[in-house]
Amino acid sequence: MGSAILFTYPEISTIAGLQGLFVYALCSAIPIMAFAYLTPIIRRKCPEGFVLTEWVRHRYGPIAGLWLSFLTCATMFLYMIAELGSVKSVVELLTGLNGTVVVIVQVIVTTIYTSLGGFKVSFVTDNIQGTMICGLVIICACAVGTSVKLDKSLIPESELLKPTLLGWQLIWILFIGIVCSDMFLSGFWMRAFAAKTDRDLKLGVSMAAVAIFIVLSLVGSTGLLAVWSGAVTRENGYISFFALLMTLPDWVVGLVIVMVVALSTAVYDSLQSAMVSTASNDLFRNKINLLWIRGLVVLLSVPIVILALRVQSIITIYLISNILATTTMPSLLLGLSSRFYFLRQFDVIFASFGGLFAVFFFGLVYYDGDANAAISLLLLKQGLYGENWSAFGTFVASFLGGLIALALAVGGRLSVQWVMCKRAGTKFDGLDRPVVHDSDRYEVDAASATGEPDQENLK
């Protein structure tokens, strides 16, 4: 959790009220539990892997693996922009100074120590991050509780305690978007595969889910308090946390700045390390020295910093990655089940593009044939918190459209194969189960390499 949480969660509470805040916090915490369920399955099917893209490569093929690697790197690229943009905004809101210097220094420092210590350093900074979050919550809770005065007459007027249509819509929008986008983050998979046992993993993600829900609920509640104290209006709710903070003593503000920078640094170094690992393993198959890969990531930091200094809406960046993930990830994960043994890389790649087309088609219908408005839905330029069904329809269309496109791809591919087999007079084997399953492939290959195949696995 980086500095972006100080903007997004207070904002949702000022727009969708208490209901929206709890939905957002729950939809951020519960998806972490998916790693406890999926990681053991992938470990059995791909023992040598340490990220999802490695399993996709062996399950579907190299093209599908490269496609997922591209989307993974693109997602991390967007997250890095959002994180740097957030910390810049925090520094400027709390100090009035130009946040550009902080952003540049943060990138340089994280690049240096991740280059020296690798991904293990990220585990260390995670512990620092956890400590900082606890300190941030405790100090801010005490300071807000003793210094902020609420106007009780504003509580019923705000109607933030009542359920809203948007609050119900967010249950689907946020859950499906966050659970799919989490699957794109290699840093999460690396931590999941680093667990010594499945029991350790379940314990870790359970503790994380509880902690995430508590922290995000407390941070988001500053939006409610800011409205009820008159510090902000519902139109500028994204600055709620900072509006409350500016009423507190200077030493509290100073501590918060230090903690926020520490949070941002811990998130950014994880994204850097994950991008290096993904590029090295997936794109170059570990055939290039890591120093060259790190050099490429350093060069990539230049456009990241430039875009971060210009970003206007943090939530929009996350929404773009959520749409990409929702169109792609459900189809890919179906391959974990033996019932979908017939899926191929053409099918899942076609499904990814089909989901995006479904969003565009929904936009055409929703906006009465306005192509420009339909295209804007792919970027959710209308925002997430509108009083209409555009955002909800976008995430329904991306999810269902991807699965419908998957079915069409499978049906079309098998139909063409059947016709070709009929013409050639050969057997149609498009729906035959493979003799050797993914879970046995590594063991059989390893045994074959020694000249002594494992008869039990072959059987």
Q: Is residue 410 very low, low, confident or very high in pLDDT (cuts 50, 70, 90)?
A: very high
Token digits of residue 345? 């890389």
Q: Is residue 350 very low, low, confident or very high in pLDDT (cuts 50, 70, 90)?
A: very high
- For residue 381, is pLDDT > 90? no
Give residue-wise pLDDT tens across range 189-199: 888 988 889 99
Percent of the chain exceeding pLDDT 90 equals: 32
Q: Report the Cα–Cα distance between both ends of the chain, in Å, rounded.
A: 47
Average pLDDT, rounded, for the chain: 85
CA distance linking residue 84 with residue 100, whole number of Å: 9
Mean pLDDT score, 426-435: 82
- For residue 399, is pLDDT > 80? yes
Contact 20, 8 (CB under 8 A): no
| Ranges 45-49, 227-231, 378-382: which has the least confidence | 378-382
What DSSP element (H or E) covers 177?
helix 165-184
Contact 54, 46 (CB under 8 A): yes
pLDDT attached to residue 457: 42
pLDDT attached to residue 386: 63
- For residue 359, is pLDDT > 90? yes
Q: Is residue 444 very low, low, confident or very high in pLDDT (cuts 50, 70, 90)?
A: very low
The phi and psi torsions of 415 (rounded to 5 degrees) equal -65, -45
Q: Is residue 239 very low, low, confident or very high in pLDDT (cuts 50, 70, 90)?
A: confident
For 297, other C-beta atoms within 10 Å of its C-beta total 22
Give residue-wise pLDDT tens across range 169-218: 999 998 999 999 899 888 788 889 888 899 999 999 999 999 999 999 99
Token digits of residue 210? 């509880």
Give residue-wise pLDDT tens across range 129-168: 778 778 878 887 887 888 888 888 888 888 899 988 888 9
Give me the helices (H) in 279-344, please. 290-310, 314-333
- For residue 439, is pLDDT > 50? no
Q: Is 221 left (phi over 0), alpha (psi -120 to 50) or beta?
A: alpha
Place of tokens 């200094």: 309
- For residue 449, is pLDDT > 70? no
Rg (CA), the chain: 24
CA distance linking residue 289 with residue 450, whole number of Å: 29
The beta strand positions in 38-111, using DSSP E, are none
CATH tag, 5-310: 1.20.1730.10
For the chain, what are the domain ranges?
A: 5-310, 315-428
For the chain, give the number of residues: 459
Q: What's the predicted TM-score (pTM) here?
A: 0.84
CA distance linking residue 67 with residue 184, whole number of Å: 12
**Which among 175, 354, 134, 392 is positioned nearest to 263, based on CA atoms?**
134
pLDDT attached to residue 127: 80
Q: Higher-confidence residue: 164 or 125?
A: 164
